[in-house]
């Protein structure tokens, strides 16, 4: 299992050795739903952002204390992408730069 801490994703918790999804409450109001959709990012004219991705092969996400006092885990990947990138796009980018992620049976978990 390849775990990615990339600043996006859902919440999960482990119970008795198995994983289940936690209930996530939506905070979207009816007013927000009626707003005009945001214009798509023009990737030809917009500068991409640097996304720092931290991988693990142990089946768990990194602990928060691994990021304390300016330290970060050594398994960092740096990917340039745009704010509207999908998780599928991010998965493809990780596979491009991290051969370990191409192995059969690899699972991607974002948090």
**pLDDT tens for residues 1-59?**
455 554 333 333 344 444 444 455 656 676 666 666 677 888 889 999 999 888 887 77
Q: Is the pLDDT of residue 84 over 80?
A: yes
Strands (E), 1-111: 2-5, 12-15, 18-21, 49-56, 76-81, 108-110
Specify the 3-state DSSP secondary structure of 18: strand
Q: Is the pLDDT of residue 94 over 80?
A: yes
Residue 37: the pLDDT is 64
Distance CA 9, CA 85 (A): 13
Strands (E), 57-97: 76-81
pLDDT-derived band at 75 (thresholds 50, 70, 90) equals confident
Domain ranges of the chain: 49-102
Using a 10 angstrom Cβ sphere, with 0-12 exposed, 13-18 middle and 19 or more buried, the burial of residue 29 is exposed
């Amino acid at each position: 299992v390849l775990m990615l801490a990339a600043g996006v994703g859902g919440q999960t918790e482990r119970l008795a050795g198995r994983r289940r999804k936690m209930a996530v409450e939506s905070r979207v109001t009816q007013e927000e739903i009626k707003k005009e959709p945001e214009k798509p990012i023009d990737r030809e004219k917009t500068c991409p952002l640097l996304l720092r991705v931290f991988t693990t092969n142990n089946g768990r996400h990194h602990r928060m204390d691994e990021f304390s006092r300016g330290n970060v885990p050594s398994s960092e990947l740096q990917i340039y992408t745009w704010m509207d990138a999908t998780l599928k796009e991010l998965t493809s980018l990780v596979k491009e730069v991290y051969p370990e992620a191409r192995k059969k049976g690899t699972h991607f978990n974002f948090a």
